[in-house]
């Protein structure tokens, strides 16, 4: 086991992949950096939400972080796609267009968490860890 700022890290979980979907390159780079530097997880990124179905089919994704406003397929549509085909994958919605109604809708539609931008690194790490912990205890069948 290694020790991080957030406690012990189980090296057996290093293979868990986190898919980040955001059309802003700066946000993809930032989230990739946070995950690489502060977690044992492997970040995968795409600016194109239309690629998500293929990525989910080809890779074993443990958690998805998705922007709410995306070209071609918005965050709610993406959330529905993931909930339908991969109901055990936690989805964290991030957005710069925060409102109580949007947060409520995201959670009602099955998002694990909703995080307004800008966010603190600790907040996104906490959401990732909690989402993956929940995913690990859910029955697979």
pLDDT tens digit string along 8-47?
Answer: 555 554 569 999 999 999 999 999 999 999 999 999 999 9
Superfamily of domain 14-136: Response regulator (3.40.50.2300)
pLDDT in tens, 100-121: 999 999 999 999 999 999 999 9
Beta pairing class for 2-4 and 7-9: antiparallel
Domain ranges in the chain are 14-136
Q: Tell me, what's the pLDDT at 98?
A: 87
Listed in sequence order, the residues at least 6 apart from 26 whose beta carbon sits closer than 8 Å to its beta carbon are none
């Amino acid at each position: 086991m290694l020790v991080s700022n957030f406690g012990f890290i189980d090296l057996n979980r290093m293979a868990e992949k986190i898919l980040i979907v955001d059309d802003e390159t700066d946000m993809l780079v930032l989230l990739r950096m946070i995950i690489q530097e502060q977690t044992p997880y492997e970040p995968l990124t795409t600016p194109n939400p239309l690629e998500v179905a293929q990525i989910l089919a080809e890779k074993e994704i443990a958690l998805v972080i998705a922007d709410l406003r995306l070209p071609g397929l918005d965050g709610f549509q993406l959330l529905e796609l993931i909930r339908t085909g991969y109901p055990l994958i936690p989805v964290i919605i991030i957005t710069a267009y925060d409102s109580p109604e949007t947060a409520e809708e995201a959670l009602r539609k099955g998002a694990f968490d909703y995080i307004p931008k800008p966010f603190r690194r600790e907040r996104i790490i906490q959401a990732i860890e909690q989402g993956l912990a929940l995913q690990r205890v859910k029955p697979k069948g």
